Chains A and B, each alone.
Chain A
Amino acid sequence: MASSIIKDAKVLMVGAGGIGCELLKTLALSGFSEIHIIDMDTIEVSNLNRQFLFRQSHVGQSKAKVARDAVLKFRPKINITSYHANVKDPDFNVDFFKQFNVVLNGLDNLDARRHVNRLCLAADVPLVESGTTGFLGQVTVHVKGRTECYECQPKPAPKTYPVCTITSTPSKFVHCIVWAKELLFSKLFGDKNQDNDLNVRSSDAASSSKNIEDIFEHSKDEDIGQYGKKIFDHVFGYNIELALSNEETWKNRNRPKPIYSKDVLSDELDKQNGDLDNDNACGDGFSVSAMSSLGMKNPQDIWSLKENSRVFLEALRLFFTKREKDIGNLSFDKDDQLAVEFVTAAANIRAASFGIPLHSLFEAKGIAGNIVHAVATTNAVIAGLIVIEAIKVLKNDIKSYRMTYCLEHPARNTLLMPVEPFEPNKSCYVCSESPVLLEINTNRSKLKDVVEKIIKAKLGMSLPLVMNASNLLYEAGDIEDDMVAIYNANLEKVLAELPSPVTGGTMLTVEDFQQELKCNINIKHREEFDEEKEPDGMVLSGWTQPVAAAENEDKSVSNGANTSDAPITEVEKSENDDDVGIISPVKKRKLPDDSDKSNTADDERHHKKLQVIDDEDDLVMLDGNLDGFKKRRVS
């Protein structure tokens, strides 16, 4: 089987995680002998259940390097080059990509996937892309000019929640988690200078926001037990009382119940102080645990309100006594045991107050950490399918290219479903150089807003350059100091007042040299924007936008990023979790159906037809329109 096409091929693998380990093994067995592999991650215990090239003793080491060494043990004669680095590093430029015959992705985040897609397009190297979640998986092939690129299809934006749901009217456990993690945790242990809706909202009625601020401030001489109790009573008691006073809110909702520490813990509070010196069992840093100092073991247990309250106070105390130097610059990390304990307890107490079922630490950690579940078998299947596609690509067997879906519940009797790839989307700004349209108030919005909210967040450029005709307005990256000053000044100017003014009818050119991506933005001036529906104060169109998952009532909070002024539309997810790719099909998503094309409608997509490969006598046509696949029998 190891034909010379395979033997002579030079392959780049991006990602040495769940899919990566399986892929590297299958490539080596299949006769590939020149493989380069990039991964910035190091090995963690929770990887070992599926990333079979890694052992307990490798925890903390580079995934790419350990994977290489492990595969060389059973295929010593092949060449594997490993890079413990971020694929977005400038070293991995277009020239680097050009040396490969095919690029295979086993990535875990949208950002890196988009980046690799652009480099593959620029270098004209075919890309085989993949993803798994639980028992679901998919493999797609992207060849410039032949098939759609990775970005031709809209990618759903992560879920965000309206701020008021989080601060005042939670109805689901996840709302309590987001509150505990993004508001309370950040308020107590995060950057003090950051805007935080916890005090904004909790002081809606009060004019004395200064007062509220003081409550969270811990003075040196304040007894930590008393301080914890004060915070507890403020956020779970006083704030709820305050919210209850607004009768309007509770007309059609269940009224929450204020919870005070003295009611829950009664006599135990004094004992808590007794534990103060009993800290020898806990280690430093991430190993500090309220659970272990309280003698609780099973993360699958659902704690009572009382237990949650004890964990809350104990975790708070441990942060201030054992992790004092971290306070002020912590952000939630799912691998930080104490942080997970604190957030679990806080979310549960809030849930109890609002009559929402409580959850175990294990479950809370999954929700708070956005942990994507993963198993070895799906990764193995997907890796096999990637290699099958890679071989077709090397043979230039274009007609046989397939996107394949690995399903949990077989559609009819099909468990692995191959589908012909789409054609490139002519309105894709990435692979078709089609211009985009930006509606914006040119007299009010600053260049900075365009760079941050549009060029970086929406267009996915990391080091952009912005030009108005031949005038350079802004350039990121390695530039001279005097230019930095000019560009920084430009960033703060509104569009119409730039040295070369940007007004309605202007065409901006933005470019990212690393990605070799250039995009034209047509500017259309618009005076007013709907604060609720268009919180950015600008609207980008002309290509298929991500499906907006936000319930945009006003500002919104997402489960997974810092709260800031702007709603988070695209959360970078570059933590160590691998295999993120797709979602469970049992999950209900709000899909715009035929009667409602308002959000994502892009009629141009109708031109595509997707054909399910099936037996000759029973062809099934799927319409490629993303408003939903419509099945049609063709006789």
Chain B
Amino acid sequence: MEKRKEKERKKQEREGGRERKIKSDLVQAVYNRIYEIDESNGSQLLFKMDHRLRLEMNGDGEELTAQETALYDRQIRVWGADAQRRLSKAHVLVYGIKGTIAEFCKNIVLAGVGSLTLIDDRPITEELLSSNFLIPPDENIYNGKTIAQLCCDSLKDFNPMVRVFVEKGDLSSFDVEFFGKFDVVVVSCCSRSAKKLANEKCRKASKRVAFYTVDCRDSCGEVFVDLQDYKYQKKKMEETIECHLKYPCFEDALSVPWRALHRRMSKLYFAMRVIEKFEEVEGRSAGDVSDADLSNVLKLKKELCTAQSLNESHVPDTLLERLVADTTEFPPVSAVIGGILGQEVIKAISGKGDPIKNFFYFDASDGKGIIEDISDSNIGN
């Protein structure tokens, strides 16, 4: 008996050791900078490529053009030619364009998606201009045009192989059929109820529509991901394995009781919910809060924490203060969040690599970029 336990323990240690070794290799690998592809790296690359070529034979057979191969050379080396082909057939919709979405749009237009549709009917304001590199600060250019139109003009220029369109209307005015035309829908700058509604419509569409929300305030950012029932491939050691993930919709994720979440849950998750709720009850549009609202926001936080039986220390006042006082986007954070979101959308379209499930948080004040899984199936884990 003792011996078996001892054996068990040793086995665990070994496995733990291996995990640590892998992690230490990883940290070491990241730490050191290698300037040449060496032998083992080369063979990894070859493995990837062998795999890719096999996929291609089973694929739809369409080849990339010489122009595409030349332009996308460096990224095809990252994700393979079949992923590039899938990208070129994908249709992406974004709603609500501030700095972070501008970053995201740039990233996926460069990556070479099939089309990008922009919706944002707002006229230019100082704030919208300040974080958006797609709009030249010249009244002669932007007068009379909406944000979406102006961004469209710039984005078209980034990659002539991507079609960029503008649609008009409020998010709630679009029906299921409309959302069903896209493979990816990303919404920003809108209320909690508008997000929920759009998410529901995407889920009702006849094919799978990947749904994302993104919000950046002060030096913090949040991304929500709903890939519904999602199958993908990833490489584990030398093998490619099939994975399967089930995502909750926005509403279901939010209805997971706070108490049920793990102890180290990102404080930003709670803080964002408090502010979202505040904007909802006050009938404000997204981001329409200021210092003056702080005391009411803190009051609401207390109520929510009590209702959810959550210790208030999980939602620090200082954090809420930051989020309320400065709702403008901080460009470096927009770059980070827009980059992560772009990467996630590319993963979802290509069906390759572990996607985020289902929230991502970044706070420049501590520099951590954290994935949180908030879903029913995860309760108690």
User: Which residues of chain A have a CB within 8 Å of any CB of chain B?
Assistant: 1, 22, 25-26, 28-30, 45-46, 48-50, 52, 55-56, 71, 73-76, 109-110, 113, 131, 134-136, 138, 153-156, 158-159, 161, 172-174, 297-300, 302, 357, 359-360, 362-363, 366-367, 370-381, 383-385, 387-388, 391, 402, 404-411, 413-418, 547, 549, 558-560, 571, 573, 580-589, 591, 593, 613, 615, 617-618, 622, 626, 628-631
Contacts and interface: CB of A to CB of B under 8 A. Distances in A.
Contact of B26 (A298, A411, A593): A411
Nearest to B43: A172
Interface in B76-106: 76-79, 81, 99, 103, 106
B43 A174 contact: yes
A406 B31 CA distance: 11
A622 B27 contact: yes
B73 interface: yes
A359 B45 CA distance: 12
Given A30-B332, A299-B66, A558-B36, 12 more contacts: A30-B330, A49-B110, A375-B346, A377-B339, A380-B339, A405-B31, A409-B354, A410-B371, A415-B370, A416-B336, A583-B41, A618-B264
A374 B74 contact: yes
Contacts, number: 306
Contacts of B330: 1, 30
B197 interface: no
A297 B66 contact: yes
Contacts of A29: 99, 130-131, 133, 331, 334
A381 B339 contact: yes
Contacts of B342: 376-377, 380
B42 interface: yes
A373 B36 contact: no
Interface in B53-87: 53, 56, 63-64, 66, 69-79, 81
Given A297-B66, A629-B27, A629-B28, A381 B335 contact: yes
Interface string B12-47: 000000001101111111111111111111111110
Contacts of A613: 366-368
Interface in B277-334: 326, 328, 330-334
Interface string B361-377: 01010111111110000
A156 B32 contact: yes
Interface string B335-349: 110111011001000
* Interface residue SS majority, chain B: helix
B67 to A, nearest CB: 9
State the 10 A-B residue pairs at the shortest beta-carbon distance, nearest first.
A416-B369, A159-B38, A384-B335, A418-B367, A381-B339, A373-B77, A158-B36, A380-B339, A29-B331, A384-B336
B248 interface: no
Nearest to A590: B40
Contacts of B71: 45-46, 48-49
11 contacts: A29-B131, A134-B78, A155-B33, A173-B46, A376-B111, A378-B343, A415-B371, A573-B36, A580-B33, A613-B368, A626-B28
Contact of A547 (B32, B64, B76, B370): B32
B69 A300 contact: yes
A587 B32 CA distance: 13
A153 B333 CA distance: 29
A591 B26 CA distance: 11
B367 A631 contact: no
Contact of A52 (B72, B110, B346): B110
Contacts of A30: 330-332
Interface in B115-173: 130-131, 133-137, 157-160
Contacts of B235: 586
B107 interface: yes
B269 interface: no
B360 interface: yes
B18 to A, nearest CB: 12
Contacts of A387: 331-332, 335
B353 interface: yes
Given A46-B71, A409-B354, A549-B38, A583 B29 contact: yes
Given A573-B36, A582-B32, A411 B158 contact: no
B110 A174 contact: no
Give the interface size bracket for B toward A.
35 or more
B46 A359 contact: yes
B36 A571 contact: yes
Interface of B: 20-21, 23-46, 49-50, 53, 56, 63-64, 66, 69-79, 81, 99, 103, 106-107, 110-112, 130-131, 133-137, 157-160, 219, 235, 263-264, 326, 328, 330-336, 338-340, 342-343, 346, 353-354, 356, 360, 362, 364, 366-373
A95 B270 CA distance: 50
Contact of B107 (A380, A583, A622): A380
Given A174-B39, A373-B77, A414-B369, A363 B49 contact: yes
Nearest to A580: B35
Nearest to B237: A586
Contacts of A377: 107, 111, 339-340, 342-343, 346
Contacts of B368: 414, 416-418, 613
Given A74-B133, A583-B34, A589 B25 contact: yes
Given A381-B339, A414-B370, A631-B23, A172 B131 contact: no
A11 to B, nearest CB: 14
Nearest to A374: B74
A458 B37 CA distance: 20
A49 B74 contact: yes
B336 A381 contact: yes
Contacts of B79: 375
A618 B81 CA distance: 42
A153 B38 contact: no
A370 B340 contact: no
A162 B217 CA distance: 55
A262 B135 CA distance: 64
A586 B137 contact: no
Contacts of B21: 593, 628
Nearest to A612: B27
A384 B23 CA distance: 25
Contacts of B133: 25, 28-29, 71, 74-75
Contact of A1 (B66, B107, B328, B366): B328
Of listed B20, B40, B134, B158, residue having the most chain A CB within 10 A:
B40
A403 to B, nearest CB: 9
Nearest to A381: B339
Contacts of A370: 36-37
B242 to A, nearest CB: 17
B346 A385 contact: no
Given A46-B74, A153-B32, A367 B42 contact: yes
B31 A153 contact: yes
A298 B371 contact: no
A73 B136 contact: yes
A591 B56 CA distance: 35
Contact of B29 (A172, A173, A380, A587): A587
B156 to A, nearest CB: 11
A378 B110 CA distance: 13
A607 B77 CA distance: 40
Contacts of B74: 46, 49-50, 371-375
Contact of A49 (B24, B64, B112): B112
Contacts of A300: 53, 56, 63-64, 69, 81
Contacts of A417: 368-369
Interface centre among A25, A75, A587 (most CB of B within 10 A): A587
Nearest to A134: B78
A25 B77 CA distance: 26
A471 B357 CA distance: 67
Interface centre among A30, A373, A547 (most CB of B within 10 A): A373
Given A300-B69, A384-B333, A415-B340, A584 B38 contact: no
Given A302-B53, A362-B69, A583-B34, A416 B362 contact: yes
